[in-house]
Amino acid sequence: MKKIVLLLLINLLIPISSISQTISKDSTVTITATQLKQINLIFNEHDALKKEKAVYLEQIASYERVIDNYQQLDSVNTVKSKLYRQELQNKEKTISDLNKNLKLSKTKHKIKNWIIGILGGISGLLLLK
């Protein structure tokens, strides 16, 4: 399409440059039917390109709005991700503390059972004597 427009412009420039005319206020310029068709094609192409440009500008604006929405969504997701990481770290710390307390409790329970067993054995030996 661009090649056609370029060819049309070249075709118009060659006759214009070879027959350069100075036009005064009340002079009449005659053009051939072929030149008129070429000029009309150029004007039609120009109108079509103006409409196409408007569509492209609207599409670009739409894409920019979509990008803005994605950036806002991304920032929200980033904040959520940070909060989830903090929550996960807090829960891991809680689990670690509970495991330490459980080990300590088991150790205390073992010591208590050993003490009860030893005291029970000593009491049984004393009763047998």
Query: Positive or negative CA dihedral for 26, 27, 32, 34?
Result: negative
pLDDT above 70 (res 123): yes
102 — pLDDT class (breaks 50, 70, 90) = very high
Q: What is the pLDDT of residues 38-47, one digit of tens each?
A: 999 999 999 9
The pLDDT value recorded for residue 38 is: 93
Q: What is the DSSP letter of 26?
A: T
Residue 113: CA count within 13 A, CB half-sphere: 6
pTM of the model: 0.46
Calpha distance 121→17 (Å, rounded): 126
Place of tokens 């079509």: 48
Binned at pLDDT 50, 70 and 90, residue 1 comes out as confident
Return the percentage of the chain with pLDDT > 70, whole number.
Answer: 85
Handedness of CA 4, 10, 13, 15 (dihedral sign): negative
Nearest to 48 by CA among 96, 107, 5, 101: 5
Supply 66's token pair: 């979509």
Hey, which bits of 7-119 come out as E strands? none
